Structure 1
Amino acid sequence: MKTPADPVRDYLSAVEREACALPADRRQELLADLAEHIEVTRAERPHATISKVLAELGDPRTIAATALTEAGNGTAAASTSRSDGAPARRGKVHPLVPLLMLPLTMAFVMVFPAQPGPLICFLFRITGVIFLCTSAHWTAVQKTTGVLLAAVVPTAIIATANLSGGGPTAGTPAFLTNLAVLALMAGTAAWLWRARRV
């Protein structure tokens, strides 16, 4: 008699097969992290289908390739344990930091449109992007999407508005443009917060 398919077990088995070149302890840690992430996501979002949760995690081959690359660079060992034997925290910065830095820069520019407000915001935005890209809480696809929606597109919209003569002090049109950009950045930050690996 054929047993019903277990998508989670199949997914984890696929990751394990793809990551067979990893040391056994690192491979087991990777599988445990993925299983925990799946469990937490299902608890936080009970209406999400298991296929959607697994799709958000990414392709098993990509996950294994990333883990193999990290292990090859020696970063895997450094990220999994400290010198005293205790497990290290995932990521150097709390995931909320870049998610707050990106939209708050836009709010700051709306409040302080004159120099040096925009320059300070640009530096904060770059820092937020760096924190986002170096975090262990998101997949490469999620990081790329986050950078595009929370930094690149807003910067392009604001630059276009400034070059077209509107500028930050153009009144209602500039204010509405800034509000739309702020909404895009805040929405992206909320999506990244929900999609993060715990």
Structure 2
Amino acid sequence: MKTSADRVSDYLSAVEREASALPADRRRELLADLAEHIEVTRAEHPDAALGEVLSELGDPRTIAATALAEAGNAAGSGTPARGGAGVPVRRGRVHPLVPLLMLTVPYLAATVVTDVPALQLCSGLFRIVGAVLLCTSVHWSPVRKTVGVLLTAVLPTVAIFIWEETTVAPAGDTPALVANLVMLAVLTGTAAWLWRSRRA
């Protein structure tokens, strides 16, 4: 029977095999990042099963493909792949706060200012871009990305459609205010959860 150390070693070996096309220093950095993330996650959540921790990290092939794509972007940009004193510089990453803000702040602005059609349109566009950035980010596992998009982009869109286009929603300012507050609570709660669970 494999021990936890064996399973982690097998997982990292799989990533290393899939990422064999990466430069050796970038591959070592990737494996060190993953090992550190596993260690930190298990320390913070000792009751979590190791299989769950590894599955939330993602499939080794997907992790390797993302790292290879990032390495390709860095190489194609014409900029050096290393910083001062030979320290590796990570390229192609959007700060994790960017998609979270794009998914929450526009909804708040559109809720406060309801009589400007251009603002409503911009709010929708910002949320779409935020959802795309969240889906393509390296900071979350596929499961967290899916939950994040469902709760911050799909749910608000469906709720707004039902509220404005059907007779299901109750009339009056008070129900609308309560609905907006509930939706804002869901958005900010989801954003906070994603922020706490992000990968370094």
- What is the TM-score of this pair, normalised by structure 1? 0.76
**Alpha-carbon shift at residue 86 of structure 1 (Å):** 4.0
Question: Equivalents in 2 of 1:157, 1:95: separation in Å?
Answer: 26
Please report how far the alpha carbon of residue 186 of structure 1 lies from its aligned counterpart in structure 2 after TM superposition.
Answer: 2.1
Q: What do residues 56-114 of structure 1 show as CA deviations (whole Å, max 9, x unaligned)?
A: 1012233233334555xx22546993465543256544212321331222222332222
Residue 150 of structure 1 and its aligned partner are, at CA, apart by 0.9
Distance of 1:131 and 1:64 partners within structure 2: 19
Match of 2:42 in 1: 42
Task: Please list, as runs of the form range in 1=range in 2, the aligned pairs for 1:48-127 lying within 5 A after superposition.
Answer: 48-71=48-71, 74-75=72-73, 77=75, 81-82=81-82, 85-89=86-90, 92-116=93-117, 117-127=119-129
Q: Are the counterparts in 2 of residues 109 and 118 from structure 1 also a CA contact under 8 Å?
A: yes
Distance 1:75 1:91, change over 3 A: closer
Aligned to 2:166: 164
Q: Is the 8 A contact 2:26 2:88 kept in 1?
A: no
Normalising by structure 2, report the TM-score: 0.75
CA change 1:70–1:141 in 2 (3 A) is farther
Residue of structure 2 in register with 1:28 after alignment:
28
- Report the 3-state secondary structure (helix = DSSP H, G, I; strand = E; otherwise coil) of the residue aligned with 1:153: helix
> 1:19–1:65: 8 Å Cα contact kept in structure 2?
yes
Q: How does 1:133-148 map to 2 (within 5 A)?
A: 133-148=135-150
Deviations 1:129-187, CA, capped at 9 Å, x for gaps: 344244332244433432232112211211221111588x8423322332332233223
Per the alignment, in what secondary structure is the counterpart of residue 108 of structure 1? helix
**Tell me, which stretches of 5 or more residues in structure 2 are unaligned?**
none
1:175 to 161, 172, 177: 177
When residues 87 and 28 of structure 1 are mapped into structure 2, their CA distance, relative to the original with a 3 A threshold, is closer
Q: 2:4, 2:50 within 8 Å by CA — same for their partners in 1?
A: no
- The one-letter code matched in structure 2 to 1:119 is L
Deviation at 1:31, TM superposition (A): 0.9
Partner Cα separation in structure 1 for residue 94 and residue 64 of structure 2: 23
Residue 34 of structure 1 deviates from its aligned partner by 1.0
Q: Which residue of 1 aligns with 2:193?
A: 191
Determine if contact 2:83/2:89 at 8 Å carries over to the other structure: no
2:162 aligned counterpart, secondary structure: helix
Task: Work out the CA distance in 2 between the residues paired with 1:92 and 1:70.
Answer: 8
For structure 1, the residue ranges without an aligned partner over 5 or more in a row are: none
Look up the SS of the partner of 1:20 in the other structure.
Answer: coil
Instruction: State how far apart, in whole Å, the 2-side matches of 1:31 and 1:160 are.
Output: 46
Give the whole-Å Cα distance in 2 for the aligned partners of 1:4 and 1:164.
Answer: 56
Q: Tell me the distance in 1 between the aligned counterparts of 2:21 and 2:120.
A: 48
Q: Deviations over 1:2-42 (max 9, x none)?
A: 88441322221222233334443332222122112223333
**Matched AA of 1:96:** L
- The answer to whether the 8 A contact 1:91-1:136 is kept is no
State the Cα RMSD in Å: 3.3
Aligned residues: 195
